Chain A
């Protein structure tokens, strides 16, 4: 998972794009080393001490990990659980849409 996300973040570094994590690890201190080792540079919300039973994943009814949502620039949910190449394609489509809209104005 991490290598793919790293390359996505790198490829779209200058684009209006953000990868936001919701991390469900209970041990926040232990996680700091992982962030370094895996070069995880993107920002994550912390789901809290209850781990996978934390407030964010509960509100979003997440029961399997990883779960992916892709939102357009208006904050509308456009894709769910797309991974790998399908995630890239979804993001590219929405970036095109954003550009077309900006160009049309």
Chain B
């Protein structure tokens, strides 16, 4: 009898306690972050299910548009989480979610997220990945962020990724801002001297930078195009320079 009563009492005691613990866990910044990520993934899944089930072109177009902008509603929520817990490690995750997501579906918070990462997390090793992902980013704030990271990060690997991405950004904007061409060349040179061995997506940054240097030095706006001598699709050899005197569009193409 006593044993049964104890068991009941234990159950009564344990149950609310466990609930309270669950609630505390559920409210932790880490749990909130995970819940947001899960919710976003589910929304993505739901959309792609709907897309596969769509029967009309109109419906498909509408759903495709929704897919490309799906993250826009989430970025303010990740931002709030990061701002509510600025010193928690989760702030870094939330901010990098905004930054890397922004390249896919916009989001006006991305610039602010970069500023906060540079301000509060410049010592974080994980900035290597964030910097690497900004390589082709069209965010206006990306070059400034990469400058700061390259200058202030204590980690060589982070510096390397920031240097390479900044070089790529400079190369990209060189057609609009000619002095960026020289800057790109200097940064790629720095990669070959200081960071050649650092791996990126399965290749050494030094190898990538060498090809980039050739492009910057020989294939930039204002440079005379290197000649091409090769066979045409019928097996007849010809040269690009055969067309000197004409305006030429070179189109690297493939039918796939």
Contacts and interface: CB of A to CB of B under 8 A. Distances in A.
Given A44-B233, A46-B230, A61-B212, A77 B251 contact: no
A77 B223 contact: yes
Contact of B253 (A24, A32, A80, A98): A24
Contacts of B250: 20-22, 68-71
B233 A28 contact: yes
Interface of B is mostly: mixed
> How many A residues touch the partner, as a band?
35 or more
What is the predominant secondary structure among interface residues of chain A facing chain B? mixed
B46 interface: no
A45 B175 CA distance: 26
A18 interface: yes
B48 interface: no
Contacts, number: 150
Given A43-B238, A45-B228, A66 B253 contact: yes
Contacts of B241: 75
B236 to A, nearest CB: 9
B252 A65 contact: yes
Given A20-B248, A56-B230, A74-B244, A44 B222 contact: no
Interface of B: 175, 211-212, 214-215, 219-226, 228, 230-233, 238, 240-241, 243-256
Given A61-B214, A61-B219, A77 B247 contact: no
B225 A77 contact: yes
Contacts of B256: 25
Most chain A CB neighbours (cut-off 10 Å) among B215, B252, B254: B252
A70 B255 contact: no
B251 A5 contact: yes
Contacts of B211: 58, 61
Contacts of A23: 233, 253-255
Question: Which one of A47, A74, A77 has the greatest number of beta carbons of chain B within 10 Å?
Answer: A77
